[in-house]
Amino acid sequence: MASSIDVALLVGSLRKESLNRKLAMEVATLGLPTLTLDLVEIGTLPLYNQDLDASPPGEWSRFRDRIRAADAVLFVTPEYNRSVPGALKNALDVGSRPYGKNAWDGKPAAIVSVSPGAIGGFGANHHLRQSLVFLNMPAMQQPEAYIGNAATLFDAQNKLNNDATRDFLSLFLRNFAGWIASNSRRQPEPRPARAMQERSV
Contact residues: ligand FNR, CB under 6 A = 13, 15, 18-20, 78-82, 115-117, 119, 121
Query: Min. distance of Cβ 25 from ligand FNR in angstroms?
Result: 11
Q: Are 135 and 129 in contact (CB under 8 A)?
A: no
Query: Min. distance of Cβ 116 from ligand FNR in angstroms?
Result: 5
Determine the distance from the C-alpha atom of residue 96 to the mean position of all C-alpha atoms in its chain, rounded to a whole number. 13
Q: Are 112 and 173 in contact (CB under 8 A)?
A: no
Residue type, 16: K
Query: Min. distance of Cβ 6 from ligand FNR in angstroms?
Result: 24
Q: Which is nearer to ligand FNR, 52 or 119 (CB)?
A: 119
Q: Which is nearer to ligand FNR, 151 or 171 (CB)?
A: 151
Q: Are 138 and 184 in contact (CB under 8 A)?
A: no
Name the DSSP class of 29. Answer: T
Q: Which is nearer to ligand FNR, 67 or 147 (CB)?
A: 147
Residue type, 89: K
Residue type, 31: G
Which backbone phi and psi does 58 adopt, to 5 degrees? -55, -35
Q: Which is nearer to ligand FNR, 102 or 113 (CB)?
A: 113
Query: Min. distance of Cβ 89 from ligand FNR in angstroms?
Result: 13
